[in-house]
Amino acid sequence: MAAETATTTGTEVPHSAGHAKVFPPMNPADFSPQIIWLAITFAALYLLLSRMVLPRIGEVIDERKDRIKRDLESAERLKDETDKALRSYEKALADARSNAGAIAKENQAKLTAEVDVERKKLDAALNAKLADAESSITATKSKAMQSVSEIAADTAAALASALSGQNISVDEAKRAVSTAAGK
Amino acid sequence: MADGAHSGSAMPDPIHQFEINRLWHIDLFGFDASFTNSALFMVVAVALIVGFLLYAISGRLLVPSRLQSLAETAYEFIANMVRESMGEQGMKFFPLVFTIFMFIFTVNMLGMVPGFFTVTSHVAVTAALALLVFTIVLLVGFAKNGLGFLRLFVPSGVPVLILPFVTMIEVISFISRPISHSIRLFANMLGGHITLKVFAGFIVMLLGSQSVAVNLLAPLPLAGAVALMALEFLVAFLQAYVFTMLTCMYLNDALHPGH
């Protein structure tokens, strides 16, 4: 700033006064301190970065890459396991379904057989009762028919006695009736 | 600048910001090794880089914090640049390339703070860096390939008739590398800062005028200075990137001299 105090008149271009005549960025007198300090600072920076800083950053990045790779691998493994579990579950489900079907079929067969047996039993009982009833009807009917022929013989004997005035035995009448009934 | 008020149209000197001031005189075996304002900002840059990176990575978080991801981004950015230009075997140069990028980027950015000194605006610094790269390319090139390194100057598939001519051009372009490498960075930083200072000077000049009409023109250079400032931030990064990228390409020549 001190150099600028030299400029007092408005028309003057300031760098005439206190400055070196040379253009400062190319002043050879300033080369050596710049180059020496560049060498010092650049070497220091290189050593600090290459020995200390960059390995740390690289380590963190590598660690993350490894971690991501590991995680992806374990995710892949878990997915395989899930698939396997899913497949075995589906198989179990299918097995259970077919088992259930078999059991249902078996039960149905058993029930049908039982019902058949019951029905047959019932049928047989009913048939027996029917046969009994039929036989008793037949018996009653034959008995009744027998009574009818007796009554007819009696009546025939009575009628014949009355009409003919002869004493006709019941036996004769019976014979006649059965002869007549036999036609 | 205190006298700017009564001198009216006095223009602040745009070159003044590049002056080297010796803060502490040191004489090293007859060489001037004074601690200058330039050296001060070099030291500040080194402290900032190392301090920031160490602090950012100190958490060693699996899910990085903002600062940590910034440090990791810088690391990956340079690591990818090195891998892409030199392949996996180039990673032994990674610390060097990372140091070059961080150093240039940080001193460029420090230079953007008003009143701060821009280390890379001096040709001595950029030339020293460029020569460092050039020397490493030569040493590694010959150490790794022996005389095979000279194949760098003899492109394959060129007719024998014009081969000497092409080889000559290759040699000249190789030798001029450190020149273009250093001048590009130095000139960009120097030019940008001079332009900024000139625009800022216009504001002071216009405001210093007695005429109100002229005073009212002051916002124009102000807008220009703001736009330039944004551009200069871009240039500060871009030139650090370009210097680093070229370093990678030159180092690649040392590893794989065949075209």
Per residue in B175-225, pLDDT (tens digit) is 999 999 999 999 999 999 999 999 999 998 898 888 888 888 889 999 999
Distance, in Å, from the CA atom of A173 to the CA atom of A159, rounded to the nearest integer, reads: 10
Whether the CB of B34 is below 8 Å from some CB of chain A: the reply is yes
Range of the domain at B94: 17-255
Q: Say whether pLDDT at A83 is over 60.
A: yes
* Residue B169 covered by a domain: yes
Q: Say whether pLDDT at B8 is over 50.
A: no
User: Would you call B50 and A48 a contact, using CB atoms and an 8 Å cutoff?
Assistant: yes
What was the pLDDT predicted at B2?
40
Please state, rounded to an integer, the average pLDDT across all residues of chain B. 90
**Nearest chain B CA: its distance from A103 CA (Å):** 58
Residue A154: CB atoms within 10 A of its CB come to 14
Q: Give me the helix-helix angle, B94-111 and B219-255, nearest 10°.
A: 170
**Nearest chain B CA: its distance from A82 CA (Å):** 28
User: Would you call A5 and B2 a contact, using CB atoms and an 8 Å cutoff?
Assistant: yes
What was the pLDDT predicted at A130?
93
User: Would you call B16 and A64 a contact, using CB atoms and an 8 Å cutoff?
Assistant: no
What pLDDT digit, counting tens, does each position of A151-181 carry?
A: 878 888 888 788 877 777 778 777 877 787 7
Number of structural domains in chain B: 1
Burial per residue of A86-114, b for 16 or more beta-carbon CB atoms within 10 angstroms, e otherwise: eeeeeeeeeeeeeeeeeeeeeeeeeeeee
- Lookup: tokens for B70: 């910034």
What was the pLDDT predicted at A26?
84
* Residue B6 covered by a domain: no
User: Would you call B62 and A63 a contact, using CB atoms and an 8 Å cutoff?
Assistant: yes
Token pair 């981004």: residue: B73
* Residue B9 covered by a domain: no
* Residue B2 covered by a domain: no
- Pick from B15, B98, B132: CB nearest A15: B15
Q: Between these two residues, B221 and A13, which has the higher pLDDT value? A: B221
> What interface predicted TM-score (ipTM) does this complex get?
0.89
Q: Which long-range contacts (CB under 8 A, 24 or more apart) does B173-182 make?
A: B177/B130, B177/B134, B177/B250, B178/B127, B178/B130, B178/B131, B178/B133, B178/B134, B179/B130, B181/B126, B181/B130, B181/B133, B181/B134, B181/B243, B181/B246, B181/B247, B181/B250, B182/B123, B182/B126, B182/B127, B182/B129, B182/B130, B182/B131
Whether the CB of B16 is below 8 Å from some CB of chain A: the reply is yes
pLDDT, average across residues A108-135: 94
User: Would you call A10 and B10 a contact, using CB atoms and an 8 Å cutoff?
Assistant: yes
The pLDDT-based confidence of B226 (bands split at 50, 70, 90) is: very high
The pLDDT-based confidence of A12 (bands split at 50, 70, 90) is: very low
* Residue B233 covered by a domain: yes
Q: Say whether pLDDT at A1 is over 50.
A: no
* Residue B173 covered by a domain: yes
Helix (H, G, I), strand (E, B) or coil at B36: strand
Q: What is the gyration radius of the CA atoms in chain A, in angstroms?
A: 69
User: Would you call A49 and B95 a contact, using CB atoms and an 8 Å cutoff?
Assistant: yes
Whether the CB of B175 is below 8 Å from some CB of chain A: the reply is no
CA-based nearest residue in chain B for residue A24: B19
Q: How far is CA A179 from the centre of its chain?
A: 87
Q: How far is CA A174 from CA A140, A167, A179, B162, in A?
A: 21, 14, 8, 165
Please state, rounded to an integer, the average pLDDT across all residues of chain A. 84
Distance, in Å, from the CA atom of B43 to the CA atom of B40, rounded to the nearest integer, reads: 5
**Nearest chain B CA: its distance from A78 CA (Å):** 22
* Residue B10 covered by a domain: no
Q: Say whether pLDDT at A8 is over 60.
A: no
